[in-house]
Amino acid sequence: MSILVDKNTRLLVQGITGREGTFHTNQMIAFGTTVVGGVVPGKGGQSFEGEGAIVPIFDSVREAAEATGANASIIFVPARFAPDAMVEAADAGLPLVVCLTEHIPVLEMIAVRAYLDQRNTRLIGPNCPGLITPGGAKVGIIPGSIVSPGHVGLVSRSGTLTYEVVYALTQRGIGQSTCVGIGGDPIKGMDFIDVLRLFEDDPETSEVIMIGEIGGNAEEQAAAFVREHMRKRVTAFIAGRTAPAGRRMGHAGAIVEGKSGTAEGKIAALQAAGVQVADNPDRIVEMIS
């Protein structure tokens, strides 16, 4: 089994004709994802010719969902359009929306998150690499060549560390059930706890890797959830141990103010919950082998 996406995923691509949308749609199709439609306002009735597939394009998500039976959407549109794109996908009744777009203003994401919370729509992102189920579906930009089917679930705030750890797992012959990049923005959709809960309930996921970063308190909250609710082994890594206090480190969420959001505090909370914490990414694979 897997979580969130599998061979039954029927994907819409919002922004399919843009440069990023075109490239990554081809990559997703080549991996085996069932891409059933694209959405580009004003281009309805046209087609996207991809990797051995011809994908119809629609003017709206609702029209596309009704015509194709889509159950997920991925968003490749600029930041100024992304909030409306997420809301449109939720209004169309899609149960899963993945938004890769960076630089969406926090105030706009607060409004989007509040709106989606009123609907039965799961959001992954924004500012994330998406997710991938080996042998099932790739919804995002995680390279399909580095994954392999197995029983280790992975959830991460960091895109590049996701790739590094997944590749190391595959090289050691350790397969993955699903790999989920939730993104590092302070206001986003699914968080660590949401994904950990799904992995805990998935009978085909035997253990979980969690990759966190400095900033915010999501890792401390996840530690409390692990202590109270998880029976499966969790191995973690926290990036940013050497980051100076008060300096922004790439992501809007990766900033340390005083004693809040430090790597040390997150590590202590995880270890107190029984989570084994690696001191560098390479050690993660060794600790679960």
Whole-number Å distance between alpha carbons of 185 and 194? 16
* H helices, E strands: number in the chain: 9, 14
Which H/E stretch holds residue 127?
A: none
C-alpha closest to that of 9 among 61, 87, 69, 51: 69
Reported residue count of the chain is: 289
CA 120 to chain centre: 18
Q: How far apart are CA 190 and CA 226, in angstroms?
A: 16
- Amino acid of residue 205: T
* Whether the Cβ atoms of residue 86 and residue 111 lie closer than 8 Å to each other: no
Alpha carbon separation from 11 to 34, 68, 263 (Å, rounded): 6, 9, 37
> Which H or E run includes 171?
helix 159-171
The yes-or-no answer on residue 251 being catalytic is yes
Token readout for 33 is 């994802």
Catalytic hit among 103, 151, 229, 251: 251
**3-state DSSP call for residue 286?**
helix
Question: What token pair was written down for 156?
Answer: 């991460």
Q: Which of the residues are catalytic?
A: 251
